[in-house]
């Protein structure tokens, strides 16, 4: 017999909530940073540098921690990746730098590169040091649409190279998914906004929030008004589940819910189901599952249609969810909503398996999972009708060349809105930076 739908706020005390949403990796103190830094071999041909999408000179920044040259360490990081502070918190280092650290071979434990990167960048930001100077003014003006990681990275590099930049952002705050999309316990104490302040401190970057492309802004007008345009607009829409009419209550987009959570003044007021089912296999699915648990949900199940190896969430992320009492079920695809008295009571899944060609097929066997609340974390897609110029697309995203140039001359793009196969913060930062370098050359020709 199923239970009454139970969605409510205040399942845990404020104190308990605060504890649950503390920093998952408390910062290293100077003693521990020194110990960890000394584990680095300072490899000559370091695999970690090749594994970093922004090519930070990792051995160099770590050695500088061990010699007490923390400013130099932070400069090594931030000159390659202006969001080195955020990336230190959110990068899945287990599949990037730390995944290839040679210490894995020797002792099964990589140098904690991410935490060391955070140590240096935190030190610098506490000092309030701008670190970079602007090149002489070029007289050129660039519009950056979207104030997320790609846009801010691009804006900072353009400002550094001497161009004036206007950043247009649809939401109230800059920083994109760093502010609205990343799990709260990964970036505590308003770090996203402190990082924005640091980035803007270089000067030459004007910001206009609350203006949206396709509404208040027209791409054709930006192209007219500015010498170049960068689109870092992300993906404004989410994929839906196609298993019949979605019940009005109890079914949420994980992206929307995380945004509410990140902006909530008081987590006690945030309603959460007693029994939660999350559908999806990526980082967002992990984030919403764990956060539901931390908000006080009793029973959280994450369901993915293929196996653990196919999830885009890494082994470490999956383990993190499991340690936080999230149950992960695989090889199950949504079949139909379960309703009781006109309200959602659960979701029925069909067991799956790959056929001989690897294509997913249903096995016509079913499993019902009770739920008060279902979160959909099925990936994002681009909003339609936002461009008033003809833009060439590739699989639903903007088509760009190696440097991020779109099919329209003078318009570049980067971050989640381009087709690159990668969608991490660190990729967005790199794409913004590379586009800025290409734009600079183009503007000076």
Partner 1 sequence: MADLSCTIAGIPSPNPFWVASAPPSDKYYNVDRAFRAGWGGVVWKTLGIDPPIVNVTSRYGSVNLNGQKMMGLNNNELITDRPLEVNLAEIKQIKEEWPDRAVVVSLMVPCNQNDWEYILRKVEDTGADGVELNFGCPHGMSERGMGAAVGQVPDYVEMVTRWVKENSDLPCIVKLTPNITDIRYPARAAKAGGADGVSLINTISSIVSVDLDSMSPEPSIEGKGTHGGYCGPAVKPIALNMTSEIARDPETLGLPISAIGGISNWKDAAEFMSMGAEGVQVCTAIMHYGFRIVEDMIEGLNHWMDEKGYEKIEDFRGMAAKNVVDWQYLRRLASGDQNE
Q: Which is nearer to partner 1, 133 or 364 (CB)?
A: 133
Minimum separation from the CB atom of position 273 to partner 1 (A): 51
Residue for token pair 């020797």: 106
- Under the binding rule (CB under 8 A), the answer on residue 106 touching partner 1 is no
**Closest C-alpha to 228, from 354, 142, 345:** 142
Element (H, E) at 391: none
Q: Least separation, in Å, of the C-beta of 65 and partner 1?
A: 10
Report if residue 64 touches partner 1, rule: CB under 8 A. Answer: yes
Q: Tell which phi-psi region holds residue 292, choosing left (phi > 0), alpha (psi between -120 and 50) or beta.
A: alpha
Per the CB < 8 A criterion, the answer to whether 209 and 147 are in contact is: yes
Report the residue number, 70 or 174, with the smaller CB distance to partner 1. 70
Any contact of residue 69 with partner 1 (CB under 8 A)?
yes
If one asks whether residue 8 binds partner 1 (CB under 8 A), the answer comes out as no
**For the purposes of burial, counting CB atoms within 10 Å of the CB of 238, is it exposed (0-12), middle (13-18) or buried (19 or more)?**
middle
Q: Is 50 in the site for partner 1 (CB under 8 A)?
A: no
- Which of 4, 25, 30, 42 is in the footprint of partner 1 by CB under 8 A? 42
For partner 1, the closer CB: 45 or 245: 45
Which region, left, alpha or beta, applies to residue 282 given φ > 0 means left and ψ of -120 to 50 means alpha? beta
Contact between 44 and partner 1 by CB under 8 A: the answer reads yes
CA distances from 261 to 66, 157, 255, 295, 329 (A): 38, 31, 10, 10, 25
421 binds partner 1 (CB under 8 A): no
Span interacting with partner 1, options 66-74, 91-99, 241-249, 416-424, rule CB under 8 A: 66-74
Choose the stretch contacting partner 1; rule: CB under 8 A; options: 71-79, 283-291, 320-328, 385-393: 71-79
Q: Is 63 in the site for partner 1 (CB under 8 A)?
A: yes
- Of the pair 64, 294, the CB lying nearest partner 1 is at 64
The residue count for binding partner 1 (CB under 8 A) is: 13
Q: How far is the CB of 66 from partner 1 (least distance, A)?
A: 8
- Please tell me whether residue 47 binds partner 1 under the rule CB under 8 A: no
Work out the widest C-alpha separation in the chain, in whole angstroms. 72
In 10 A of CB 43, how many CB atoms?
13
Interacting residue with partner 1 among 47, 72, 162, 410 (CB under 8 A)? 72
Residue closest to 83 by CA, chosen among 192, 237, 242, 245? 192
At residue 289's C-alpha, the angle toward residues 428 and 176, to 5°, is 25
240 binds partner 1 (CB under 8 A): no
Q: Is 212 in the site for partner 1 (CB under 8 A)?
A: no
Q: Does 384 bind partner 1 (CB under 8 A)?
A: no
68 binds partner 1 (CB under 8 A): yes
Backbone angles phi, psi at 413, to 5 degrees: -150, 155
By the rule CB under 8 A, 71 interacts with partner 1: yes
343 counts as binding partner 1 under rule CB under 8 A: no
What does 183-217 look like in DSSP terms, one character per residue? Answer: -GGGS-TTHHHHHHHHHHTTS-EEEEES--BTTTB
**Is residue 67 a contact residue for partner 1 (CB under 8 A)?**
yes
Helices (H), 226-341: 254-263, 283-295, 315-323
Torsion of CA 435, 165, 159, 425, to 10 degrees: -50
Is residue 218 involved in binding partner 1 (CB under 8 A)? no
Residue 80 binding partner 1, by CB under 8 A: no
On whether the CB atoms of residues 235 and 414 are closer than 8 A, the answer is: no
In this complex, which beta carbon is closest to partner 1, that of residue 68 or of residue 139? 68
Asked if 3 interacts with partner 1 (CB under 8 A), we say no
Using CA atoms, how far apart are residues 275 and 211, in angstroms rounded to an integer?
38
Minimum CB–partner distance for residue 75 and partner 1 (Å): 8
Binding mask 19-38 for partner 1 (x = CB under 8 A): -------------------x
Judged by beta carbon, residue 3 or residue 38, the one nearer partner 1 is: 38
- Chain residues in the site for partner 1 (CB under 8 A): 38, 42, 44, 60, 63-64, 66-69, 71-72, 75
């Amino acid at each position: 017999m199923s239970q009454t739908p139970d969605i409510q706020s205040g399942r845990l005390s404020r104190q308990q909530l605060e504890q649950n949403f503390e920093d998952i990796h408390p910062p290293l103190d100077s003693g521990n940073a020194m110990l960890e830094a000394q584990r680095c071999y300072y490899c000559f041909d370091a695999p970690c540098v090749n594994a970093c999408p922004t090519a930070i000179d990792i051995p160099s920044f770590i050695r500088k921690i061990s010699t007490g040259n923390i400013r130099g360490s932070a400069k090594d990081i931030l000159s390659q990746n202006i969001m080195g502070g955020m990336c230190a918190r959110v990068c899945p280092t287990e599949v990037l730098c730390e995944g290839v650290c040679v210490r894995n071979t020797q002792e099964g434990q990589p140098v904690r590169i991410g935490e060391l990167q955070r140590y240096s960048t935190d030190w610098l930001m506490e000092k309030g040091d701008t670190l970079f100077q602007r090149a002489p003014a070029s007289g050129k003006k660039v519009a950056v649409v979207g104030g997320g990681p790609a846009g801010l990275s691009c804006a900072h590099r353009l400002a550094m190279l001497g161009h004036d930049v206007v950043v247009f952002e649809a939401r109230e705050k800059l920083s994109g998914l760093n502010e609205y999309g990343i799990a709260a316990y990964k970036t505590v104490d308003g770090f996203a906004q402190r990082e924005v302040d640091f980035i803007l401190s270089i000067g030459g970057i004007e910001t206009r929030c609350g203006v949206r492309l396709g509404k208040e802004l027209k791409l054709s007008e930006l192209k007219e008004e500015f010498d170049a345009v960068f689109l870092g607009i992300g993906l404004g829409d989410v994929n839906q589940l196609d298993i019949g009419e979605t019940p009005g209550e109890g079914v949420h987009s994980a992206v929307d819910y995380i945004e509410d959570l990140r902006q909530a003044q008081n987590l006690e007021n945030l309603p959460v189901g007693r029994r939660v089912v999350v559908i999806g296999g990526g980082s967002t699915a992990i984030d919403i599952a764990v956060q539901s648990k931390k908000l006080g949900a009793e029973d959280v199940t994450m369901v993915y249609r293929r196996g653990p190896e196919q999830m885009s969430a890494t082994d470490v992320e999956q383990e993190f969810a499991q340690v936080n009492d999230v149950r992960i079920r695989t090889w199950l695809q949504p079949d139909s909503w379960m309703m009781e008295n006109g309200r959602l009571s659960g979701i029925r899944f069909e067991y799956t398996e790959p056929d001989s060609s690897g294509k997913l097929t249903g096995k016509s066997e079913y499993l019902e999972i009770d739920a008060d609340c279902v979160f959909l974390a099925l990936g994002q897609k681009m909003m339609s009708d936002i461009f008033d110029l003809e833009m060439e697309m590739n699989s639903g995203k903007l088509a760009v060349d190696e440097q991020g140039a779109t099919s329209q001359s003078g318009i570049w793009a980067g971050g989640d809105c381009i087709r690159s196969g990668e969608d991490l913060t660190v990729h967005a930062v790199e794409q913004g930076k590379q586009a800025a370098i290409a734009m600079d050359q183009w503007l000076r020709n």
